[in-house]
Amino acid sequence: MKIFRGFHYRGIAPACALTIGNFDGVHRGHQAMLALLRNEAQHRGVESCVMSFEPHPRDYFAQATGKPEIAPARIGTLRDKLTELARCGVNQTIVLPFRAALASQSPESFIQDVLVAGLNVRYVLVGDDFRFGAKRAGDYAMLAAAGSAMGFEVARMNSYEVSLPDPAAQGGRRSVRVSSSAVREALGQGRMDDAARLLGRPYSISGHVVRGRQLGRELGFRTINMRFSHWKPAASGIFVVGVHGLAEQPLAGVANLGVRPSLDPNDVNGGRVLLETHCLDWPASLGPEGGYGKIVRVELLHKLHDELKYDSLDALTTGINRDCDDARAWLAAGHAQTRRQTTRDRI
């Protein structure tokens, strides 16, 4: 998959079938839309293309208006999003920087300058709640009318739903519209099974392993650390995880996703959100420095509890030992394999 930061670059397809959105999480609704996009692109003999935005538009407006509370929790990093889009078979992705100029661009200008002159769209597929342009003034009807006048086809995809357990009815189920908001809600409540069903895969975060304070090594719990690029992750707390990319087989572990309240907020990580993972069995072949610089993917399989603030390093050590024991017990019960099989069965 080709990736472009904007659309004024050589190498962009001369014409395309396009879908537009934030695609946070690339969940099963997104996946269904991308499958349809690929088919329509192939039918027309053009490339399939996704247009997304960074930062998320609501992040931009949260900063511009001084209202951080309106920023959405982020499901995945930009790396994760691009990885999943590539896995869905998209030919190219255009990441538009969402800044003041784009935020103030009229719907009519967006259609003419970006879709027509910039990308030469032949087909545009959008969701049932699609809005665009300054003050979200553009909608499906405006886009469809412009397509009829300018020679490109516009289609709309209806909501995609999945069946989830209903907590209000023992043994019952409920139909849920798949959306990034639904995924955020499941992750925020620690419902990792539901998040996996909405995503079509276990929830994971990927990135480079970076050096941290190395306190874990001093306490006897070697960790691999990845920075989460957004200040507001959709999930937080202590998790049973599977680590991919360090060894031939996934490594079981315990991870802390958050700000580590027991540590000095002015430590080497600068108060940033960190995914700090302790592998229950560290491969001897890696050596003590073997993880640094690698790109790894950490699947968050089961939430043990929220982050806790410990009063001392001894209390922290006791807490980590307890989390490791609980993780081993959960894994020994076969939950991880059951979860992966259940997710595959429902895709």
Contacts of 293 by beta carbon, 8 Å cutoff, 6+ apart: 208, 209
Average pLDDT estimate for 108-126:
97
Contact 343, 202 (CB under 8 A): yes
pLDDT in tens, 130-176: 999 999 999 999 999 999 999 999 999 988 999 998 887 777 899 99
DSSP H helical ranges for the chain: 28-44, 57-65, 78-87, 100-103, 107-109, 140-150, 180-188, 192-199, 215-219, 313-332, 335-346
Strands 47-54 and 153-157: unpaired
Number of Cβ atoms within 10 Å of the Cβ of 324: 17
- State the pLDDT at residue 218: 55
Strands 92-97 and 121-127: unpaired
How many structural domains is the chain composed of? 2
Contact 189, 181 (CB under 8 A): no
d(C-alpha 347, C-alpha 340), whole Å:
11
- State the pLDDT at residue 293: 82
Asked if 18 and 128 sit in the same domain, the reply is: yes
d(C-alpha 26, C-alpha 233), whole Å:
15
d(C-alpha 126, C-alpha 119), whole Å:
16
Q: Is the pLDDT of residue 43 over 60?
A: yes
Binning pLDDT at 50, 70 and 90, where does residue 342 land? Answer: very low
- State the pLDDT at residue 168: 78
User: Could you write out the DSSP letters of every residue in 92-142?
Assistant: EEEEEE--HHHHT--HHHIIIIIIITTT-EEEEEEETT--BSGGG-B-HHH
Distance of CA 263 to the CA centre of its chain: 27
Asked if 125 and 11 sit in the same domain, the reply is: yes
Binning pLDDT at 50, 70 and 90, where does residue 345 land? Answer: very low
Binning pLDDT at 50, 70 and 90, where does residue 346 land? Answer: very low
Contact 74, 18 (CB under 8 A): no
Among 94, 126, 104, which Cα is nearest to 2's?
A: 94
Which carries the bigger pLDDT value, residue 307 or residue 171? Answer: 307
Asked if 193 and 147 sit in the same domain, the reply is: no
Percentage of the chain lying above the pLDDT 90 cut: 74
Contacts of 341 by beta carbon, 8 Å cutoff, 6+ apart: none
162 belongs to a structural domain = no
Asked if 100 and 232 sit in the same domain, the reply is: no
Asked if 200 and 295 sit in the same domain, the reply is: yes
- State the pLDDT at residue 336: 65
347 belongs to a structural domain = no
- State the pLDDT at residue 291: 78
pLDDT in tens, 66-99: 999 999 999 999 999 999 999 999 999 999 999 9
Helix (H) or strand (E) holding 16: strand 16-20
Among 258, 254, 284, 269, which Cα is nearest to 215's?
A: 269
Residues β-bridged to residue 183: none
Q: What is the mean pLDDT of the chain?
A: 90
d(C-alpha 199, C-alpha 180), whole Å:
9
Asked if 268 and 187 sit in the same domain, the reply is: yes
Q: Is the pLDDT of residue 347 over 60?
A: no
d(C-alpha 205, C-alpha 299), whole Å:
7
Q: Give me 258's structure tokens.
A: 């958050």
Q: Is the pLDDT of residue 335 over 80?
A: no
pLDDT in tens, 258-300: 986 655 555 545 567 899 999 999 888 887 776 788 899 999 9
Asked if 49 and 138 sit in the same domain, the reply is: yes
- State the pLDDT at residue 216: 54
d(C-alpha 347, C-alpha 344), whole Å:
5
166 belongs to a structural domain = no
Asked if 302 and 231 sit in the same domain, the reply is: yes
Range of the domain at 192: 180-342
Asked if 139 and 23 sit in the same domain, the reply is: yes
- State the pLDDT at residue 294: 87
Asked if 263 and 118 sit in the same domain, the reply is: no
Match 């030919």 to its residue by tokens. 91
Tally of residues, the chain: 347
Which carries the bigger pLDDT value, residue 282 or residue 125? Answer: 125
258 belongs to a structural domain = yes
**DSSP assignment letter at 187:** H
Average pLDDT estimate for 49-73:
95
Contact 83, 206 (CB under 8 A): yes
- Lowest mean pLDDT, pick from 18-27, 136-145, 311-320: 311-320
167 belongs to a structural domain = no
Strands 204-208 and 295-305: antiparallel
